Chain A
């Protein structure tokens, strides 16, 4: 599964540093990829995030060792269950409900509301991104559009490793957007939070009155961040754009779950069940991970259990997309969506979509909720993605096949650029009042 002939094609780029990913060896078997993810002989910091360093350098994903652990420890406070509950019920729920109501009142022709799921989700998750980051004052429609335009330009450079265009040009444009983002949104947010933190230190503001967001968490732990330059705050924000990530895989889930329940009508009622919803989400994420591959760099000579040797300085690409389809682990029909799939012992149903080892996605539980099925508690958050999926299917979301969805060919992320849907179970506010 990992000979030289299996080097990836179609991602030839103009890298800023080191070899292009197309010139690196690619690992594609599940066990090889897991071994490198967990190995101390490979690093992500300084290796895996190379070209995006001007945009996200010294951010969580670029750190290793003690610095990385300290950063995780500081930022983990934002991913506690009480925070997940707030983001889901206090931020996402009202935003999604308002957007669905807005769409319900825009009926045309056959009376079924239609929309493109991409701009729909982009708008819904704007509030979440602002709340998570700690950006204030993005309230009006115009303000949101201006904000999202800057965020889009900035974040593409933060994930440039997966872009097929010139990395130099993309990073250059993203840096301009990031400077605009810092001046327009971050600077006033920092000033407000520094004043609140100072008032709290003086005993004039209660702990409960302090914002609970990434910016506040970073400013309250400035002794950690001061090890780097003052722009590290903005680069760290750029790494964490929850809406930007979730938007990439929800359309795949809508397509796959819709097809599954159409062919397995007995499972349709399961869309109200947290366990089944979560299995759908994990299975779809296995097939469509938000990050298609990762780069690692060897920091010592080592040989994998499969016999492949690496020398200090060697780069390697971990193809999590293919590894999560490994038939030895996920069965002969590994490329098919099946929410009832049972992988081999000790293998997570989600495959490698959240990575593995120290750099496992810090937002995994925020995205999909409690992965284990052993703690059923109705007060637990469902997870941002299962929640979104449940509400969309309650509204009767159906891919609008006639309008045609399109995939983005500019990068290797297997993301849609347009995904038209209609809602077959919506009741408009107007109809409800009549």
Chain B
């Protein structure tokens, strides 16, 4: 079964918080940043929210990969 892999480049993240607003089950913003990925392998039914988070990130810090069955 395909699965997602989500990561954030900490050197690029600007802590806008947009990803947390559109996909709170995957991203969290606390402390002095950068944003954290709290679920690096979220279920596929969150793919739309995660893709929007990726598109909303002005510094393109979010990386989303669709991994095939291993």
The answer to whether A372 and B60 touch (CB under 8 A), given A76-B55, A346-B10, A346-B34, is yes
Q: Determine the chain A residues whose CB is within 8 A of the CB of B52 once the complex forms.
A: 73
Establish whether residues A357 and B12, one from each chain, have CB atoms under 8 Å apart when the complex forms. Answer: no
A212 vs chain B, min Cβ distance (A):
14
Tell me if A80 is interfacial: C-beta within 8 Å of chain B: yes
Tell me if B50 is interfacial: C-beta within 8 Å of chain A: no
* Smallest Cβ-Cβ distance to B56: which chain A residue: A76
Establish whether residues B58 and A358, one from each chain, have CB atoms under 8 Å apart when the complex forms. Answer: no
* Smallest Cβ-Cβ distance to B9: which chain A residue: A372
Bound-state CA distance A384–B60 (Å) is 15
The answer to whether A357 and B14 touch (CB under 8 A), given A346-B33, A346-B34, A375-B63, is yes
User: What is the count of residue pairs linking A and B with beta-carbon distances less than 8 angstroms?
Assistant: 71
B contact residues vs A (CB 8 Å cutoff): 9-12, 14-18, 21, 32-34, 52, 55-56, 58-61, 63
Establish whether residues A80 and B58, one from each chain, have CB atoms under 8 Å apart when the complex forms. Answer: no
Q: Determine the chain B residues whose CB is within 8 A of the CB of A73 once the complex forms.
A: 18, 52, 56
Q: Determine the chain A residues whose CB is within 8 A of the CB of B33 once the complex forms.
A: 38, 346
* Smallest Cβ-Cβ distance to B21: which chain A residue: A69
Establish whether residues B12 and A360, one from each chain, have CB atoms under 8 Å apart when the complex forms. Answer: no
Establish whether residues A365 and B59, one from each chain, have CB atoms under 8 Å apart when the complex forms. Answer: yes
Establish whether residues B18 and A354, one from each chain, have CB atoms under 8 Å apart when the complex forms. Answer: no
Which interface residue of B11, B52, B61 has the most chain A CB atoms within 10 A?
B11
Which interface residue of A76, A361, A364, A372 has the most chain B CB atoms within 10 A?
A372
Q: Determine the chain A residues whose CB is within 8 A of the CB of B9 once the complex forms.
A: 371-372, 374
Interface residue ranges of A365-382 to B (CB < 8 Å): 365, 370-372, 374-375
Set A371, A374, A375: member contacting B59, Cβ < 8 A? A371
Tell me if A72 is interfacial: C-beta within 8 Å of chain B: yes
The 5 closest A-B pairs by CB, nearest first: A360-B14, A372-B9, A371-B12, A365-B60, A364-B58
Bound-state CA distance A264–B27 (Å) is 42
Establish whether residues A357 and B17, one from each chain, have CB atoms under 8 Å apart when the complex forms. Answer: yes
List 8 A–B pairs whose Cβ atoms lie within 8 Å, in order of A's numbering.
A69-B21, A76-B58, A354-B59, A356-B14, A360-B14, A360-B16, A360-B58, A365-B58
